Amino acid sequence: MKDFTWIKTLPQALILVVLIGVILIGAGILTILVFSQKEDKIEILSSEETGVMAIKVDVEGAVARPGIYELAVGSRMEDLLTKAGGLSAEADREWVAKSLNRAQKLTDGAKVYVPKQNERVESREGKSGVAGSNITGKINVNTASASELDKLWGVGPATAQKIIENRPYQTVEELLSKKVLKKNVYERIFDELDVW
């Protein structure tokens, strides 16, 4: 006669296997939830509380949505223009093509102004001129012609062209940091230069 006592323990073993399975599935779900919450907290801490992961840049003028935008560190001019909805229909596209370097990396606190076509602005002296022209009594390195730059002490045609090729600049100091001007030339003429 065969022994069938194992049949009596079958329901208990089956219940035990199902119970262990439910516990393992529950532990897996709980682990996933805990790790996803930790990742969210890490992201919030790195971008909002430390301030190291983001920069703020002001874009005004002929863009679809002017304003101050928060971008990731290392963002480029093209990223800013995209976030601002792109150029408006009134934008001076020729000026943009000549003066804005869409591949340039942005720095925190920078300001970018895109003029409208044939836009006139008031200078500090009360004279009007086309946007980007000399409104401060200084030469705007972002819009000056090669001949205007060539008139500066220590700047010849080659250096003037180098200044134009490295546009736009967010600060005059970038002429030095981008190695466009030699230190002695920069120190002698930086009072004559401006960026807007």
In a domain, 33, yes or no: no
Q: Are residues 57 and 113 in the same domain?
A: yes
Residue 21: inside a domain? no
- CATH code assigned at 56: 3.10.20.600
159: domain CATH number is 1.10.150.320
Containing structural domain, residue 140: 132-196
Using the 3D structure, point to which of 118, 140, 155 is the last residue of a domain. Answer: 118
- The answer to the question of residue 136 being in a domain is yes
The pLDDT tens digits of the residues spanning 161-179 come to 999 998 888 888 899 888 9
Give tens-digit pLDDT for 99-112: 777 888 888 888 88
- Selection from 29, 40, 84 nearest residue 62 by Cα: 84
Residue type, 82: T
Say if 41 falls within a structural domain: no
The Cα 59–Cα 66 span in angstroms is 6
Whether residue 137 sits in one domain with residue 110: no
Mean predicted confidence (pLDDT) in 48-52: 49
Higher pLDDT, 190 or 126: 190
pLDDT of 75 > 50? The answer is: yes
